[in-house]
Structure 1
């Protein structure tokens, strides 16, 4: 990330060598093909960083005194920390005492906390995505580099020196050369000079198309490795090519551990560690096939749960606390469920538990036990934070698909939220709960009704992004569901999703269950007193109206709630 921001290579070198082990009492480290001196900067920074960490109070221990910190550092000196620097720090402290730390006081001035505008929040969200992508590249590939449109280096990952013997200092702030990463066809023994126009980099920049190839990559001298090489253009505003990235994976050293790690990354949610949506649906599909093969003689149930007022938690305490809530909740579910049950994060703050050999009554009891445990547990690590969840429970039927079973459980979940949250709704409650108008909170705006054979649904979503970015996300939702914009004016949009069957009846698939959506945007600002900070609220109001002949309210409710779940995932994503 620092490379992309054109940070001085000396600073980058200091930080990347910060935690290199020292070789005995000497100060040098090994890099591919050579031995270099470890500069004084990272050696000082390593000691200062460790000393500060030991002094600071942690949730799991008290902060150490100066004497305890120095003693701990000296125990690790010689290999991890430079002993001469530790002793210099100790003498400095003994001579100048607390005056040594006088410059740190300004960092704890709460009154100087800067205001963060909505534009800055959007920038932070984009930066978070950028960092997340870099982390994935770092985990999945042995090396990668990024060029801008002028073929100048922006990023040279710390794996690239091992693949090319070129340290970052020799690469950054100069243009790409064909000899930097020497690639040759995998089937050829000889190495012929590749014309510049024939390289994967130039072709990707010219055509805007991604390329994949198996190549031999020269590491050093006559040493070659087999590698998979992915080259992808980076598309900027206006569909212009802003750069190109090349990812390299060493095929010569793929081990069973690597395969297991990649498999886990593909199957598990990166934040909570439980199954991701794809793995959850795959496992549910297998269990449904077993259920159908035995003619429904065995039971199968699904529990859908959602954290109540999760957006309020994020807005009040920050996204870091919100993430911790999800992590703690996932751990609680793992501890409270049985080994054969499947726990998955379905999206956002929604989780699904698949319960084999469990009928509806037993699944409801299970959901109630989980709901009570969540309500009584300390989740999120914040004093005074009360976390509750709403639950929906459905049992498999002989005609069920993965989608239909999840939609029924999701409908039950939404009815639990409409009835006041922090409760469990089961399938038998659908008829009575579908028309309930919430009265426990001003935030609850879900309504489902019927008039002259036409069904109506309404809900509201609070978003944190500007109107322009919200509109972009809405366009992505429309494209994903193959919708049509019927009418549009400032702050309002009319959308049609799906088409009816030949005789106007609703079909079994979502594409054959047409609804009209009316979406409006509203921005309000309020403050209870002149001294109170004015808060901006951006509300998206969604109204749906059935088209065609709908079998019943439960079918319409399932369709609307499924659409709302997807719409919220688009609008509230970062």
Structure 2
């Protein structure tokens, strides 16, 4: 790696910080490394396994510095977990680049310790449940200088210091306090910056939910050339969209076999102690009871630190437990207000009064609900007082007191009334066929998120052939029970057919649904089944969420594509085809503009779109649209193509009436945008321009209302798949025609 003076290896913070958050489903998880090793066979709890895995990885990689990692974990466990994920991600990326030797060692050590300075950050900043103010962010950014000070005391590697010190530098040199820019920034620092930002964006924070993988990659592309190295961003995007199974195996082999623990600990020892585990059966019963309650239950200690957040609290507030556990309670966290709408002052907060003054409170208030609207609740705050009148904390109970049934309550009633599958006692196929269209229409109308999980048991035929069909039936019953246990109130689990099941997740985006699917997958893989002689089964999962313009069929096909991808990449995994953030959804243009602007007179809908991804990525996304909508490719010439999508058969009034179909005409070209930094350095970004025209196959069908409505729906759906927005007058760049034919990426022989 390139070297620079140690005095210059100082940064002042990054755009994407991970001060408060929970673990996402990242590119290279700790569980992924151990899944293919003998160490994964030990029967331990999930928390113990994560602790054991982290300790093993840290010991073999850091040696003497493992004590620094232990200190960071004691200070703030989410930051330590983030650092380990970033190190594994950098290791995986380096494996794809062929990086080895000292350069790889330095990159991994720098990634593990890049946030070590947060041990000096005040707890109130690390635990703050809201986004930091500008002054607080400036104070938080001091952690980089403190981290370098710590490393200077124990690290003899100049390259590690340079990597950590320049990881926050912007590629175009526009960030203050950094002298290096462009390729003068060490390669390791440029790699680390991208992986660090990607993990931060795909992590769930109390002040911001995790982004989907596609949205996070789009964000990196948009920042390429300004904040990040554009060539490395393109490389990282292609790595994430490809098959990384082989690379994960290589990283597992390196961290668990090739790295020499004895050599790493030659002068220093590291003997971590497991976190205290409560093992009394009574506590297990209490936890099950709390999670089964419809009311929200929250526990806080004497420092107002949240120690419990049950599923009822998740349902009412829309905030996951992993995003708040260990953080300081405040009324503004859930937008708690008096019944008249007045904000609750700290002195009048029922939880604060229960802890500080031992006073019990029971009154009607409002909180921010899952859909962003105020929700009336009955609040009951009770101090927890010991034998000597010592206050140990408080319990908060939130009871839904809204006068009208919520969408989730209606979905729950539907879940209780649907016909059950006689074997597994979950909803059957007919119930799913009835519920899924209702979920799609109601969530589209409410503009609320909705996700679909489809899963099946891996190699189920082998179970029947080896243990018999009765054992196979018992495995199906157990599998369905594990799926049901992993759901919230309002979700529906249905047996789709054979060993295939679906989960309908109300008010849930793809990032949250994928984390829940991963938790269920791990639970299934670690559950011994008596009917299988104590062996465990595995399952593959496909996840997607509702997109603008979706129909029940397109959403189901997209989830099925994700499941097939999981199977193609080795099974026993979760694959997501997720929706983009609402920020990327364009405002719907006026009707006459869509009807006439830049389209022929016969078109019933059309638009000029611009998507911030290269042409190859745009075509891959178009393939998903084609598959999910059952479209047919009827013509292709260079960068122009025509798709045909069938419509419906109306009530016939004359013999000439019949089924209608729509033709979608697409013309692709790449557009090169030049960006100049404050330092005068130029960089380019490649976007894809798409000209769309939708017309009926027969001209007389253009007057049909259902044809126009379908065309509008298809345009909205296509825009969502391509992550595109309408081309504005100010978005004019240098047009460069793509040299690769669209047909090459579609993998189809055009019909002329």
| TM-score relative to the length of structure 2 | 0.26
Higher relative contact order (CA closer than 8 Å, sequence separation 6+): 2
Structure whose residues are more often strand by fraction? 1
> As a proportion of its length, which structure holds more helix?
2
